[in-house]
A = this chain, B = another copy of it.
Amino acid sequence: MSSDNKPAGRLIKAPENFLDPAGVRQVFAEAKAGRRGFIRSAFMAASAAAVAPVAMATSNPVGSGEGDPNILSLPEHSKGLGQPVVTDGYGKPSKYEVNVQRRQSPGLTQTAQASVSFAPLQSLFGIVTPSGLHFERHHQGWWDIDPSKHRLMLNGSEPAMLKRAMVFTMDELMRLPSVSRFHFIECGANTGMEWGNVAVPTVQYSHGMLSCSEFTGVPLRVLLDMAGVDYKKARFVLAEGADGSSMTRTIPMEMVENGEVLVAYGQNGEMLRPEQGYPLRLVVPGVQGVSWVKYLRRIEVGDKPYGAKDEAIHYMDLMPGGQHRQYSSIQECKSVVTTPSGGQVLLDKGFYNISGLAWSGRGRVKRVDVSVDGGRNWRTARLEGAVLPKCLTRFNIDWVWDGKPGLIQSRATDDSGFVQPTYGQLRTARGTRSIYHNNAIQTWLVQEDGEVKNVQLS
């Protein structure tokens, strides 16, 4: 692996296969050797430039000592015509960003159609997840469904639940009142490996079943009103997808009545991507991703929870003492530092911007505190605005690394007063056998040699 085609500041790419520790060590070693050399020569070039700024405006190459001798000569891109405007072609990222990719976790599932690809959180900025890097979770693979043939049916478990069953074409849905809102989506199993104290090495694999988009669609409430739903009787909604998994999930009517649940066709300005349920998915703000049914084809209203396969067997929390809890679908307040994070390497002492994400399925993030000493001392981070409900919030805080080992943590508080728990607090309440809804405080160990590792502090 070459370290040349990596974006500046990313320090190191996520190892492609985290199950191969030898490979990871090699990547670290190469990156450190290459990058430290590069940084050193860059500083020397910078010093040369500072005393001879004219070099940047002429075609005379200026020697820069160690490193690339042409680094300050006038580059090709300053001399002539570049590429023409892109027309009839959908734009792509720079070729230097080719390592910023969703990645699958080998061996996590038996088929790649019922698997996960994780979003590269360590390389992302702000709160918007580019749709090309949005995490994926499929139960039976993804499809590119013809929107002109797709239908959404709305019916009742019994005739008395509504005045009329209805079927909508996409055309009809897109003529109805629409809203646009930013929301995060997180798989209930995100950070699931960590329940078992398996410290996966990068934030992509530990927290990467998390994304955030601007969604556009029709409030489901509008459709239910059109169908004349009797809200006294119909207290639950069943959402059903059109793909082979026939995913079905129960949504309590309170979530729908307040207008928050959307029948969405738009994501980040354009139509949903096929991997995200094109042409139609449910958006259930604050709730785990499995309820955001993709390829949405049917809504049924009824008077009790449906106890569908993915509610009765999967997506349940195993609790201490052999108990379990069901329908625990809300993603509680959580945060994670994305830079620096596991798999990255700090190349030098000095100033760093610690950056991360915070979110709560209950509402807005109120505050994020950051520790660099494993929770002994905390400072409050700066939240990038606007801070929106049930949406990712980006936080940043200054840090001067003294070169000694550090333990970096973030702890979010939401506007309901909920404070993100430590692993000790989480395990006391919920045991150690769950897969879902791990929202404990994440710790990154910064070693003296600059390597960042995932460790668990109780």
Contacts and interface: CB of A to CB of B under 8 A. Distances in A.
Contacts of A78: 242-244, 246
A370 interface: no
Interface stretch (A97-105, A195-203, A231-239, A314-322): A97-105
A179 B398 CA distance: 12
A278 B90 contact: no
A127 interface: yes
Total identical chains: 2
Given A46-B151, A91-B275, A128-B128, 18 more contacts: A4-B148, A38-B148, A46-B166, A46-B169, A50-B153, A50-B167, A82-B140, A82-B143, A87-B102, A89-B101, A90-B132, A90-B133, A92-B132, A125-B178, A125-B270, A130-B131, A177-B396, A181-B384
B353 A271 contact: no
B180 A353 contact: no
27 contacts: A8-B148, A8-B171, A9-B170, A38-B148, A49-B153, A53-B153, A68-B149, A77-B295, A83-B142, A85-B275, A86-B136, A87-B101, A87-B104, A88-B101, A89-B102, A90-B92, A90-B132, A91-B102, A123-B270, A125-B270, A126-B214, A126-B268, A130-B268, A175-B352, A178-B355, A179-B384, A179-B396
A85 B244 CA distance: 15
Interface string A138-153: 1011111111111101
A429 interface: no
Interface stretch (A108-116, A329-337, A410-418, A444-452): A108-116
